[in-house]
Structure 1
Amino acid sequence: MLLKTRGALTAASIAHELGITNEGARLQLLKFTEEGVVSSFNESQGVGRPKQFFQLTELGNSKFPDTHAELTVKLINIMRDTLGDKALQTVIDVSEQSGKERYLKELDQLFDLEGRIAKLTEIRSREGYMAEYSKDDKGYLLIENHCPICAAAKTCQGFCSAELNIFKHVLGNEVQIDRVDHIVSGDRRCAYRIAEINN
């Protein structure tokens, strides 16, 4: 879970977070590496020996739920092959509209941007995206550490476009949203930079 939500970490960092010894963390990581769910790499950070970092492999990421992945991909391909891309896009558009309406019902009484982002984060976590957000001098960063529809998104990028459209719609016209990390592009997470537009 730590590697999923934080990305690559050293054994010492993991030991500190879990409140265990460095040796205990290394033994766990060695076991996970042998199972193929974790891999390691060395990275130089200035003076001294390079540090060893550990990260989830594709097999490790597959241990997190991907909602009915195989069936979803099969249905998408059948729809595309039998009804065409236009019909598939129509289904995505209807799903997008439904998402906008569903989210707006929950965000309806929230008028400040951070309150809306916090609620959106809560909704996305409930849906399996392991979402969190942070605030900095550039605005906000909404992070989704997991994508429960990753297989579908890889098969049809329209799902990712619809997701971004939903976020833009429910957070309002006075907000700029940019996707800065994308699981489908090989990043470990999806992340969105959110900032108020200064008129």
Structure 2
Amino acid sequence: MALKMYGGLSAAALGEQLGTSSEAARQQLVRLAEEGHVAAESISSGVGRPTQVWGLTPAAQSRFPDTHAALTVQLLDILREQLGDTALDAVIAAREQATRTEYEAALADAGDLKDRVDRLVDLRSREGYMAAWTEQEDGSFLLTENHCPICAAATACQGFCRAELDVFKSVLGPDVEVHRQDHIVSGGRRCSYVIRSAHVQ
């Protein structure tokens, strides 16, 4: 909290803020650095050794209140109330098309279905879905997403979930069947999709 409020601080300055010794503050900083929440930077201030100044990493921001989910739901409600479902559907369709275009470019030179699934999982993981895939005994693939970064929006408007499923079907190809098996919005622990070649029975 002190680093968030005051910006980069040395261990001595942080200790002063917390009413403790610089060594005690340094030990806490080292522990937080091991967890990926803070990082040190050496800053020269004239003659003498550079001062080690500690600051928050991007990962640390998640430890502070964030109302973006509530804001998203509020904006969707306002959009629906003020402009109607048609406008909301248009927004979802535009997002769906943008996602499809991005994914198609990423999968353009992919080889077989396994390669396409692997690339799709990589895209989804980078977007925060904590995605993974496994190959099943029957030759199908199970794509799992253990987190949904748009869960609030998807709960408020399940058109987002429909659009994502449509994008999967589109980018994986017309010869591929995609079926949602688990669904976070419906109470599941995760979202999962069974993917198989339409030619495999």
For Structure 1 versus Structure 2, the TM-score category normalised by the shorter chain is 0.5 to 0.7
Evaluate the alpha carbon distance shift between residue 150 and residue 124 of structure 1 in structure 2; reply closer, same or farther with a 3 A threshold: same
Pairwise CA RMSD: 2.0
Structure 1 residue runs without a partner (length 5+): 1-62
Point out which structure has higher relative CO (alpha carbons under 8 A, 6+ apart).
1
Larger radius of gyration: 2
1:154 & 1:83 partners in 2: Cα distance?
20
1:17-32 equivalence runs, <5 A: none
> Are the aligned partners of 1:96 and 1:166 in contact in 2 as well (CA < 8 Å)?
yes
Whether the aligned pair in 2 keeps the contact of 1:66 and 1:147 (CA below 8 Å) is no
1:178 aligned partner, one-letter code:
H
Q: CA shift at 1:67, angstroms?
A: 8.7
- In structure 2, what residue type is equivalent to 1:146? H
Q: Which secondary structure state, in structure 2, belongs to the residue aligned with residue 121 of structure 1? A: helix
Partner deviation per Cα, 1:88-139 (whole Å, 9 max, x = no partner): 0011011101110001111111021000100000000000000000001230
Structure 2 partner of 1:91? 91
Name the amino acid aligned to 1:143.
T
SS at match of 1:142: strand
TM-score, structure 2 as length reference: 0.65
1:143 equivalent to 2:144? Answer yes
Percent sequence identity over aligned pairs? 53
**What secondary structure, in the 3-state scheme, does the structure 1 residue paired with 2:179 have?**
strand
- SS of aligned partner of 2:174: coil
Separation in structure 1 between the aligned mates of residue 74 and residue 159 of structure 2, nearest angstrom: 16
Whole-angstrom distance in 2 between the partners of 1:67 and 1:136: 39
- The 3 A distance-change label for structure 1 pair 75 and 146 is same
Aligned length: 137
Q: Alpha-carbon deviation of 1:162?
A: 0.3
**Runs of 4+ with deviation above 4 angstroms:** none
In the alignment, what sits opposite 2:177? 176
How many Å apart are 1:192 and its aligned residue?
A: 0.1
After superposition, the Cα gap between the structure-2 partners of 1:191 and 1:180, relative to the gap in structure 1 and judged at 3 Å, is same
Q: TM-score, normalised by structure 1?
A: 0.66
